Amino acid sequence: MTATTSYQAGQEATLARLAYVQEAAWGVTPASKLQQIRFTGESLRGQKTRSRPSEINSSRAVSTAVTTEESAGGGINFGLSYGTFDDLLSGLLSGDWTAASGAASLTNGSVFKSYTFETSFSAALFMQYPGSQITGGTISVQRGQFLSGSLTVMSKQELSATTSLSTGGTYTAPTTGRVFDPIGGIKEVFVDGAAVAAVCNSVSLNITNDGAGADYGLGSAAAQGMRMGVFGCSGSVEFYFRDFALYQRFKAETIGSFSFRALDAAGNGYRFTLPAAALMNPQINAGAPGQPVMASFDLEGNPDATGVVLKIDRVPAT
């Protein structure tokens, strides 16, 4: 029996695919096969800024609007899995992975990287975003949830197409490892290299490139260039309250390393480290009867002596 046709009112999100390729020249998509990535949702879009003069006229009608800028970008949400987002993390941190003894490390730097993203909705429906810079991101895990993340993307422009930018019209297959889970996947939380005795309930990192943006000029609605901005990392962490050890760090404004480690089912892992972090603004409250007392802290990331604010170590299974 043949399949039923013409049943869809529109395209189904389940069938959408998202892929990227790094650009050698900003805004120019190289002739290459695009790398498909795993994601839980995306909000990439193009939009136009319109303006109208406040002309005085007897008709009482507004003046006709004109386009002054055209921008594009949005967010990409994901569950973190080993090796899937390494290229994009390097763009977020503006750095390169450095390998040593099978492992690799990434720190914030000053290496600008741009990408072309393509969302495929069907064999003949594509949205394309050349000249894309990753301006921000999050990494977070909490009890009862998998380790999740997001990327904020700013693009030169949005284009629609009926053919893919990927060579051969197909993508390089994504990774297949399991996402990091909150039980076997999240190992100790460390402060100054020592595991924190208190039980951790959640950790989140907010990674930013403050001031990153697009530059516009006369003669074109699309962006004409990008600014990298200033790198920063902050976040929050929550523990079950048991003593004043962490609170005293807040009172003394102690600066030290903060890190946590994640492992997948195969033993591959990442360690996220703020080498010069401060635990700030604690909130320790008895919220309700029968509930545990929690101690929540803001994470303040500062540069260490070498300018590193965030370090990510990638360690394969041994």
Which of 135, 150, 121 shows the shortest CA–CA distance to 42? 150
Residue 287: C-alpha distances to residues 34, 284, 290 (Å): 49, 9, 9
pLDDT in tens, 239-269: 999 999 999 999 999 999 999 998 888 899 9
Distance CA 131, CA 154 (A): 8
As a whole number of angstroms, the distance between CA 124 and CA 29 comes to 19
pLDDT (average), residues 74-80:
96
Specify the pTM: 0.92
Among 171, 202, 183, CA closest to 39: 171
pLDDT at 12 over 90: no
Ordered by start, the domain boundaries in the chain are 14-48+67-315
Which range, of 103-117, 147-161, 173-187, 297-311, averages the lowest pLDDT?
A: 173-187
Q: For position 143, what pLDDT does the model report? A: 84
- pLDDT over 90 for what percent of the chain? 81
Count CB atoms within 10 A of the CB of residue 265. 14
Taking only the tens place, the pLDDT of each residue in 285-302 is 998 999 999 999 999 999
**pLDDT-derived band of residue 229, with 50, 70 and 90 as boundaries?**
very high
Asked if 268 contacts 177 with a C-beta cutoff of 8 angstroms, the reply is yes
Count of alpha carbons within 13 angstroms of residue 310, beta-carbon side: 31
Percent of the chain with pLDDT over 70: 100
Side chain identity at 181, as an amino acid letter?
D
